Amino acid sequence: MLQKTILILLLSAGTLFAVSPDQSFTERILKENRYFIEFINVPVSNYGTEKNIEMLKSANQYNFNANLWYLQSDYTKAFQEIRRSQELLRDLYLDLLQNRYLEDARQLLDISAPEIIQAKDKQAENFLRLGYRDLEVSRQFMVKGYNYNRFLFSNKIRLYIDGIKRARRARRFAFLALLESKTPYEEKAEYRLQTLDEYLRGPEKD
């Protein structure tokens, strides 16, 4: 019985050692978490509520603590602090993507659509279509991230980052569509994409 107990203890210790984070792993996730914090800083500054700001501050504090433990070579405690930081960042990213980026992009596209359709400008309509396409892709990234394993924080955050990037592009397409629809037809040729040869062959400008 004593031998069996000793064997169990040895196996348990071996398992703990095997899953304990080492220096290279901790360094990698610290770098990753710094990127997550830097990326979300602008969205929080532009759109964040007081709660969002407090969440980012707390996530940043946990990240700071993780760096201190890393410098002391306590990689297990550093990893635990990163997990706390990323758990907050996971919820922060989802909130901003769902309630700000997706909502703002959809409102801008929906408001622009009637004027663009009335203008009957094919290029403007194409920009609008691309905007709605990116909006849907952004929504799919959000859903995929939300349904991802709830303990894989960094994977979820990366999907939310992709969603934010697509929502930003959807807004840009909405602005491009509006600009295109408001540009007089006689001026469109001047601003269209052209090669260097086409530009050089064109009429001289005063």
Q: Residue 133 falls within a domain, yes or no?
A: yes
- Whether the predicted pLDDT of 199 surpasses 90: no
94 assigned to some structural domain: yes
Q: Is the pLDDT of residue 171 over 70?
A: yes
Residue environment code for 87-103, b if the CB has 16+ CB neighbours within 10 A, otherwise e: ebbbebbbbbbbebbbe
Does residue 206 fall inside a structural domain? Answer: no
- The residue type found at 148 is Y
In a domain, 69, yes or no: yes
pLDDT at 137: 98
In a domain, 185, yes or no: yes
What percent of the chain is modeled with pLDDT above 70?
Answer: 80
Total Cβ atoms within 10 A of residue 11: 10
Mean pLDDT computed over 141-148: 98
Dist CA 156 CA 141 (whole Å): 9
In a domain, 19, yes or no: yes
Q: How many CB atoms lie within 10 A of CB 34?
A: 15
Give the list of residues 6+ apart from residue 172 with CB closer than 8 angstroms, or none: 131
pLDDT of residue 196: 57
User: Does some domain include residue 78?
Assistant: yes
User: How many domains are there within the chain?
Assistant: 1
Domain extent, residue 181, equals 2-201
Q: Averaged over 111-132, what is the pLDDT?
A: 92
- Contact in structure between 191 and 129 (CB atoms under 8 Å): no
Q: Which of 179, 185, 187, 193 is nearest to 205 (CA)?
A: 187
Residues 6+ apart with CB under 8 A from 149: 155, 156
Task: Indicate whether 115 pLDDT > 50.
Answer: yes
